[in-house]
Structure 1
Amino acid sequence: MIINGKEMDFETKITISEMLKKLGLAEEKVVAEVNFKIISKEEYKEYVLDQSDKVEIVSFVGGG
């Protein structure tokens, strides 16, 4: 699986929620895109990723 341009290997089946937890990221502070499709936060616990998926995770950063 490619996550933000880096190849990563997880156990066979993993949801977006589980992946974010393993990466130490808070669901409410990121947006996940899988194969160029933005996935709604409501789907994170059910959306199962495949090893061939390309995932982009965008974090929100505050500033002024």
Structure 2
Amino acid sequence: MKKPNYRKELIMLPLLLISIALCIGGHFILQPNYQNNHWAEYSLAALPFLMFAIVIIAIKIAIKADKEE
């Protein structure tokens, strides 16, 4: 029986931490202090696209790891 390879799962851990940081940062930018800033509006609009890109990267890593097994 083949031992499981945890290397690919550990590679996905920074992706998880980045997505957590994006969620926290998005909530931080929603504060009333930043309501009139244009950069806050643009960064909040970009958050879903960044998270979607992270999901696509994670899926590609998972497919590659599944093919190697």
If each structure's helix is expressed as a fraction of its own residues, which one has the higher value?
Answer: 2
Identify, as 1 or 2, the structure richer in strand.
Answer: 1
Same fold, judged at TM 0.5 (above): no
TM-score (ref. length: structure 2) = 0.22
Structure whose CA Rg is larger: 2
